[in-house]
Amino acid sequence: MIASLRQSFGTAWQLQKAGRGLLQFLRHGEADHAAWLAMLNLHCRTNGRWTDMLARIMRRLRPPVEPLRPFDSMLGHFEPNAVEAIAAQIRRDGYYVFDTAVPAALCDEFAEATKSIEARTSRDPASRQPSAKFDPANPVGHVYDLPESEIWKVPSGQKFIADPIFLNVAQAYFGAEPMLKDINVWWSAVMGGKPDSNSAQMFHFDYDAAPVWLKFFIYVTDVTLETGPHVFVRGSHRMQQPKMREMLSRGYVRISDDEIAQVFGPDNVIELTGRKGTVIAVDTLGYHKGKAPQSGCRLVAQLEFATPLFAKTVSEPMAVPAQLDPGLEKTIQAYPWTFRRYRRNGETN
């Protein structure tokens, strides 16, 4: 009785903070960290029901600015029905592997450029390890994260960002306005072959872009079972499944491989290998991890799209070069709402 009262009181308290976050979003364009914590808490308490509801709210508050239209991409020509079919597969499985790829020469050019950029070599928040350029023969960290501002300066990186396939699939999947939330590029290195929890090498779910988002992984190098494939648990992105209730109620924690296989079945644990240029869309609300590389190394460029509730338009706007690749200029002009977080150098707002 007391426990259930405490539970109801706790839920009401979190709902109040989440509601305040929605008001903040409507007034100022972004909800704050306290609202995010409350929403994560509600997500875990309700076995994801809260998140499904919030996604419906965001569809109402920020519907697509324009309907899908045909476009050309590095991956081919797309008509709206083909994009909708991809979104339907992501809705079913939680991920989609494109059957065409980014040109290998562009991947090589990008990989080469990343080697001269200083990267963060540890994701441990307490780490004081200095930044370094990636040296595959002598790695000092499990992952090397490149600063997003540097990626925007790389011509081949601008070609990735310019491709309209990503924002179109995101819009079809969300049924709402897609915003580019951020771009993450990182090398994964062999560090004894053991998974590092801070480097997302153990199963977990994401929530930072709630309530609905999509991450596009571009494999910039060949990814084999040995070089650290992304691993996704098929179907685990669907909320309100009774088998997930207990696991989700534990919150934002790492889950062992054995438990994942037990709850979802080993056949649903998908190791996503692919040649360089492979593109994968993943709804990382589902359980996933990067497998720790056993040999070689892996370079991933990741574009994350989200509905705008927590996109860092207000708290962390990003300055990008005034001069951009003509293809990227064209995409920004065609879909300005997607790039609202990004300001040209020299612009004041």
Ligand X SMILES: O=C(O)CCC(=O)C(=O)O
How many Cα atoms within 13 Å fall on the side-chain side of residue 159? 14
How many Cα atoms within 13 Å fall on the side-chain side of residue 89? 13
Which CB sits closer to ligand X, 78 or 173? 173
288 touching ligand X, by CB under 6 A: yes
d(CA 185, CA 147): 8
The correct pick among 142, 159, 230, 276 for binding ligand X (CB under 6 A) is 230
Which CB sits closer to ligand X, 209 or 332? 209
Which CB sits closer to ligand X, 93 or 206? 206
Q: How far is the CB of 290 from ligand X (least distance, A)?
A: 2
Binding mask 184-223 for ligand X (x = CB under 6 A): ----------------x-----x--------x--------
142 touching ligand X, by CB under 6 A: no
Which CB sits closer to ligand X, 298 or 341? 298
Using the contact rule CB under 6 A, the part of the chain among 64-72, 132-140, 238-246, 284-292 near ligand X is 284-292
Whose CA is closest to 167, among 99, 214, 211?
Answer: 214
For residue 313, give both structure tokens. Answer: 């338009």
Compute how many residues bind ligand X; rule: CB under 6 A.
Answer: 9
Q: How far is the CB of 81 from ligand X (least distance, A)?
A: 29
Q: How far is the CB of 288 from ligand X (least distance, A)?
A: 6
Q: How far is the CB of 218 from ligand X (least distance, A)?
A: 12
Whose CA is closest to 302, among 151, 181, 158, 184?
Answer: 184
d(CA 278, CA 221): 9
d(CA 227, CA 89): 26
Q: What angle do CA 203, 209, 210 make, to 5 degrees?
A: 90
Q: How far is the CB of 217 from ligand X (least distance, A)?
A: 7
284 touching ligand X, by CB under 6 A: yes
Which CB sits closer to ligand X, 234 or 289? 289
Which CB sits closer to ligand X, 202 or 244? 202
Whose CA is closest to 166, among 8, 25, 280, 243?
Answer: 280
Using the contact rule CB under 6 A, the part of the chain among 89-97, 121-129, 281-289, 339-347 near ligand X is 281-289
290 touching ligand X, by CB under 6 A: yes
Report the interface residues with ligand X, using CB under 6 A: 200, 206, 215, 230, 284, 288-290, 302
